[in-house]
Each structure stands twice: as structure tokens, then as C-alpha cells.
């Protein structure tokens, strides 16, 4: 069985992909869309993290039998085309239940306690010139007693909710926007927007969730609220977010994902220097432990497919 990994540079070099019996392995550091067909020409299994696999690619790859996503999200794969072509698609689930929530709380704590603002003030010499032992130039807010709004009730959202409860936060799980009936254990989406001191997003990007958080949603939020997005960049309208931060309506934002990745240097959220905006380069998922767990799960999916078994199948 021929296996091709299209974007090995997505992973740290220390991460190892286990071998599968009777397989021939080839990997590429990165692959452009126009290179997919040639590089996967002999492949029965293609591994991809963010390289798009389109209907055109599938039609040009008659040997292809399995697309193994090295991620949970499969929005880069044309699922309907795979179904029509009889090509299996598998993803990885649950590998990030520690790393993403930890990153969420790293962003949350940094913003609520103004860590970067204090770092800048210290570098500017303000502490050395203080007439008392400490420096109180930036707001500091505890998580205990604050309201955490979680949008997305999957494994990551639930894990973040558990950490929030451990910090002593009041946790609200948001119901889907626009539904008539609110499920037990959930709160209406609009209520969560207005009551959250911290709002964190953990849901896939679809036509319904594109720009889920825009100008009107940000206007509903508390003036000192913090928004965290470690899911998909296009869940948030970047121009609306920037306007809310600049106007002082929003207390802060911790963003790990952008609507274009890698982003242009002049992306609106990268072209500003705001102490209450933290942008990290899509690394919430990427602890070494989580990367290795993901690689192990991917190869377990491939091995199961080789045995004729269905494991973590999307199609």
C-alpha cells in the first residue's frame, strides 16, 4: 500500500509516524494545490492536514482509497466528492483535549491579568520609578467568580468548561444561534453573549458559523469581556473585532487562528500593536504530546483501513 503525507512540516521533527505493514511511505514538507495530483499519483492513502483535496484531485487519482486527515477538521476535503468516488475519509478525534484547553487558559489568564501590559510597563521603567513597592497601572481580574461562555459543546468545549469550573468560574454552554428550543444544560446564545466575562469558541467552520461573532454580537458583549478563538479564524469577523478593541468596547481578545493561514503580513490583526490583543500562530493544538498522539491515531486509522476495518470514519 502506497502512503503519501503531503505536509510533513505541519508537525515537529520529533513527531514519529508509525509504520504500517507492507506499506511504502513518502512524505513532502509542504504541497501546493497544483502539486497534489503528481505527488499522490501512486498513492492509495493520502495524509493531509491543511492541503486541500478537491473533486478534481480525486478524479485524477484513480488509485486513491483513503484520505486520512491529520486533524479533526475535514473542511479542506471535498466530502461529497469523496462519497461519490467511493473514497474513505477518516479524521482524528480527542487528541487535543489537554493542549487546546491549556492554551485557552493561557490566553485567558494573560488577558485578564494584563500580563503583556505589565511586561511593557516594566520594560519602560515604570516599576523602577514607582513610589510604592508594586505597580498598579493595568487592570487585574480574577477568573474565580467570572462567567465563562463556551460556544461549542464538543470534547474541547466540554474540557474548557471543566477547567473553568475548577477555577471557580460560572460556566454557560451556549445553545446554537437561532434555534427555537434550548437543550438542558445550555443557555440561549444571546444570553451567553451578554453575560460572559470570557467567551471562548470551539466549533467547526460552516456556512452557518462563518462570522458567527461580528459587529452585532460584539456589541452585545460586556465592555470588559474577553474573546478567545482557538477554533477557526473565520468564526470571527476580524475587522469588527479590531474595531471593538480599538474603541475600548471589548476588554481583550486571544486569537490562535486567522481567516487566512498563513496570513499576509498586513492582516488587520497583525498590523496593530494593542496590549489587549494576543495572536498566536495556530499552535493551541501543538503540544508535543498532542502532536504525537495525533500521529499515532492517524496511523491507527490507516492500519485499521488496511485490515478492512472502519475507524474514525467521516465517509
Q: Quote the pLDDT of residue 236.
A: 98
Q: How confident is the model at residue 41 (pLDDT cuts 50, 70, 90)?
A: very high
Active site annotation includes 232:
yes
* pLDDT of 36 above 90: yes
- pLDDT tens, position by position, 83-139: 999 999 999 999 999 999 999 999 999 999 999 999 999 999 999 999 999 999 999
State pTM to two decimals.
Answer: 0.91
- pLDDT tens, position by position, 213-246: 999 999 999 999 999 999 999 999 999 999 999 9
Query: Once rounded to an integer, what is the mean pLDDT over residues 1-11?
Result: 97
* pLDDT of 21 above 90: no
Per DSSP, the residues of 214-258 read -HHHHHHS-TT-EEEE-S-GGGB-HHHHHHHHHHT-S-EEEES--
Domains of the chain and CATH, by start: 2-95+288-306 (3.40.50.720), 99-279 (3.40.50.720)
Catalytic residue selected from 39, 103, 202, 232: 232
Catalytic residue selected from 8, 57, 282, 293: 282
Catalytic residue selected from 80, 208, 261, 289: 261
Count other C-beta atoms under 10 Å from residue 131's C-beta: 4
All cell numbers assigned to 68: 486520512
- pLDDT tens, position by position, 190-208: 999 999 999 999 998 899 9
Cis check for the bond before 314: say yes or no (omega within 30 of 0): no
Active site annotation includes 249:
no
* pLDDT of 282 above 90: yes
Active site annotation includes 261:
yes
Q: What are phi and psi of 72, to 5 degrees?
A: -85, -45
Amino acid at each position: 500500500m502506497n502512503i503519501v503525507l503531503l505536509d510533513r512540516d505541519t508537525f515537529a521533527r520529533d513527531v514519529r509516524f508509525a509504520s504500517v505493514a507492507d506499506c511504502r511511505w513518502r512524505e513532502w514538507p509542504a504541497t501546493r494545490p497544483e502539486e497534489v495530483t503528481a505527488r499522490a499519483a501512486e498513492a492509495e492513502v493520502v495524509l493531509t492536514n491543511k492541503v486541500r483535496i478537491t473533486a478534481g484531485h480525486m478524479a485524477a487519482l484513480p488509485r486513491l482509497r483513503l484520505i486520512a486527515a491529520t486533524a479533526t477538521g475535514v473542511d479542506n476535503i471535498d466530502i461529497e466528492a469523496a462519497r461519490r468516488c467511493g473514497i474513505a475519509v477518516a479524521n482524528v478525534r480527542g487528541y487535543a483535549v489537554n493542549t487546546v484547553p491549556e492554551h485557552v487558559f493561557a490566553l485567558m489568564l494573560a488577558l485578564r491579568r494584563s500580563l503583556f501590559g505589565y511586561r511593557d510597563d516594566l520594560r519602560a521603567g515604570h516599576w523602577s520609578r514607582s513610589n510604592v513597592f508594586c505597580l498598579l497601572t493595568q487592570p487585574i481580574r480574577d477568573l474565580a467568580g467570572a462567567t465563562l461562555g463556551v460556544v461549542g459543546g464538543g470534547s474541547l468545549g466540554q474540557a474548557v468548561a471543566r477547567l473553568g469550573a475548577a477555577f471557580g468560574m460560572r460556566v454557560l454552554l451556549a445553545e446554537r444561534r437561532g434555534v427555537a428550543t434550548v437543550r438542558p444544560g445550555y443557555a440561549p446564545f444571546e444570553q451567553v453573549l451578554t453575560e460572559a466575562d470570557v467567551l471562548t469558541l470551539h466549533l467547526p467552520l460552516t456556512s452557518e458559523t462563518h462570522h458567527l461573532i461580528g459587529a452585532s454580537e460584539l456589541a452585545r458583549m460586556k465592555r470588559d469581556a474577553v474573546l478567545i478563538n482557538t477554533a477557526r479564524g473565520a468564526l470571527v469577523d476580524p475587522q469588527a473585532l479590531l474595531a471593538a478593541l480599538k474603541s475600548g468596547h471589548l476588554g481583550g481578545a486571544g486569537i490562535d487562528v486567522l481567516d487566512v493561514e498563513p496570513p499576509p503580513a498586513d492582516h488587520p490583526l497583525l498590523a496593530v500593536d494593542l496590549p489587549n490583543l494576543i495572536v498566536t500562530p495556530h499552535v493551541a493544538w501543538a503540544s508535543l504530546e498532542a502532536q504525537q498522539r495525533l500521529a499515532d491515531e492517524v496511523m491507527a486509522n490507516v492500519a485499521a483501513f488496511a485490515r478492512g476495518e472502519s475507524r474514525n470514519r467521516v465517509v
